Amino acid sequence: MVNQKGGVGKSTTAQTIGNWLSQRGDPVLFVDLDPQGNLTYALGADASEVASGAFQMLVNQEPASTAITKTAQGDLIASTPELVQLDQLLAGKHGRESRLKNALTPVDSAYRYIILDTPPALGSAVVNALTAASTVVVPTQADIFSLQGLGQLSGTISTVQQYSNPGLTIAGILITRYNRRTLLSKQITEMLDNTASQLHTKVFSSRIREAVAIKEAQALRTDVVVYAKGSRVAGDIDSFMHELLKER
Ligand SMILES: Nc1ncnc2c1ncn2[C@@H]1O[C@H](COP(=O)(O)OP(=O)(O)O)[C@@H](O)[C@H]1O
Ligand SMILES: [Mg+2]
């Protein structure tokens, strides 16, 4: 999940995709690379109690197996507040963009999917995530501010594709927190289409609507897919997941 804007639904999308895949029986590993730790919180883990997490793995090069925390929603490599220092501590280090990829290799075969949540800045966490990933989902809200700056993201993606991960694909742009009563303006629609072509991808036709069930599940630190079962937003999630898995 990548988009350098905050509050567009990256962490929620990471949780939702992971919850959906776990519910159908796929073993999932979540990795929270954002020092804010929203995903870590929503999965019910406590940053102050984890002995090791993403920081120890990326900076001290501790093995992923010791950085994993078990949660009720699946395995997690947790965020801790020290992650704010990541850029500074990795600066100038040889091969710094590949630390996540290399760290995850030994645990890769234990999971069907590894889901990476990134912070809202184009720093080393994002570069490490793009280097380790096979595909990227770009969540956005359907407003101008959320779409601005995605051009910068396309530069970062091209650089990573050129130097550290030639096989990286962009699965698509996902509209989140969608309000069905608001028609997308011509301006937004054009901007979405332009952004998609700049990223050499498409806008998913499935959209995730704004729904209180999502916020409630996160406040209760529980599985979004189980909590929202039978609701309309659960239908959005199903439709998005089928679209995502088909496109991969
Ligand atoms: N579909 C949705 N319906 C309602 N609230 C949502 C939805 N998606 C995200 N949110 C809320 O929006 C806020 C920002 O989402 P978040 O996933 O944390 O964004 P980001 O990780 O990009 O900063 C959070 O409070 C989250 O609970
Ligand atoms: Mg987030």
Q: Which atom of ligand 1 is nearest to the CA of 212?
A: 4
Residue 224 gets the label, from left (phi > 0), alpha (psi -120 to 50) or beta, of alpha
**Ligand 1 pocket, residues with Cβ under 6 angstroms:** 6-12, 38, 120, 176-177, 208, 210-211, 214-215, 218
Q: Compute the distance from residue 10 Cα to the ligand 2 centre, in Å.
A: 5
Tens-level pLDDT at each residue, the chain (248 residues): 887 778 889 999 999 999 999 999 999 999 999 999 999 999 999 888 898 999 999 999 999 999 999 999 999 999 999 999 999 999 999 999 999 999 999 999 999 999 999 999 889 999 999 999 999 999 999 888 888 878 788 999 999 999 999 999 999 999 999 987 777 788 888 889 999 999 999 999 999 999 999 999 999 999 999 999 999 999 999 999 999 999 55
**Rounded alpha-carbon distances, angstroms, from residue 17 to 95, 223, 226:** 30, 11, 12
Q: Which atom of ligand 1 is nearest to the CA of 215?
A: 27
Joined together, the tokens standing for residue 26 give 């796929």
Pocket test for ligand 1, best of 10, 12, 41, 233 (most atoms within 8 A of CB): 12
Nearest-CA residue for ligand 1 atom 25 is 215
CATH class of the domain at 10-247: alpha beta
Q: Give the contacts of 29 (CB within 8 A, at least 6 positions apart).
A: 68, 74, 75, 76, 77, 104, 107, 110, 111, 113, 114, 115
Q: Which atom of ligand 1 is nearest to the CA of 3?
A: 22
Q: Which ligand is the nearest neighbour of the Cα of 178? A: 1
Give the E-state strand segments of 33-168 in sequence order: 68-71, 74-77, 113-117, 135-141
197: three-class secondary structure by DSSP:
helix
Question: Domain spans of the chain?
Answer: 10-247
| C-beta atoms surrounding 185 within 10 Å | 12
Q: Compute the distance from residue 7 Cα to the ligand 1 centre, in Å.
A: 6
Gyration radius of the chain over CA positions: 17
